[in-house]
Amino acid sequence: MRGKKPYRIVVAEPYAPEAIDRLRTIGEVTVLEDSAPQTILSAVPDCDALLVRSKAHVTARIIEGAPRLKVIARASSNIDHIDLRAAARRNIHVVYAPHVAVTSTAQFAMSLLLALHRRIPNYDRAVREGHFESLRGNAGRELGRARLGLLGMDPVAEHLGRMFRSAFASPVLWYDPLGRKPSELLGATVGLDELLGNADLLSVHLPAQPETKSFLNAERLAKLQPAAVLVNVSRGSVLDLTALAGALKKGQLAGAGLDVFEAEPLPPQHPIRRAPNCLLTPHVAGSTLDAADDRYSVAEDVIRILTGESPLHPAELPAG
């Protein structure tokens, strides 16, 4: 600590009380009432640390407006809402929680895939409508015969692939347009067209970047098998949602499960709300009690940096 003057720490989104209490052991903590850009801008001119979670965008303007800023922390497994180049220009540390919610999110993706693959929502609705015997024909395949496709390779995708291989001996195919690779051998690396054309179950794991905007567009969705199901627990912007709604209505794929949307909450009149065989959830894939406990470990890295120690989970900043 600099003499008797405490560090100034700004927390722009709700954090666990335990994390706030920990931060208060080394400095003065301001918890903002909202994470609007102007609110953050007004709070950061004299802060040493800025902590965000999932909604706040730490832009170059915010970073340049905080001349004393030493560390930006995001209580999330990704850092796509932080301008890393602006942080690098100022030699500001960026820390995050790369393993937070990985297991929770992978398990949620598996739940969506299993429900869609075995048509559980359809059966539930039909039974409630009075149908029974007419539903009892053979349908679907055992998961050991279904090919899991992973579009994008991140820790969640890797964990999901391992779970499918371990539990069901499912064949795993994967393709990453950004060149990311699994930490260990995981299934077969294929091209994009082969992935889309051969996956019975497709799980999307792409970050929000300019090159991934609407990556799954109408043309690529049309390459999926009519019996395939798709889930997205990564970022809403990577999927053309209007095109997906059209594909579902035309029967170009058997079902979709979506936990993320480019605009959240989902607009009331969006056509995906009326698309058949589509499960919609409110961005909760990683929201378990266990993940919440892990999420706020970034507070410890903030303390480490401010007190002159090396962080445990630093983000890699771009050069130059």
Annotated catalytic, 99?
Answer: no
For the chain, the residue count is 320
Beta bridge partners of 2: 5
Annotated catalytic residue within 18, 142, 211, 264: 264
CA separation, residue 89 to residues 41, 67, 309 (Å): 19, 12, 21
From the list 147, 159, 235, 304, the catalytic residue is 235
User: Which is the catalytic residue, given 57, 89, 180, 283?
Assistant: 283
Q: Among this protein's residues, is 313 annotated catalytic?
A: no
Residues catalogued as catalytic: 235, 264, 283
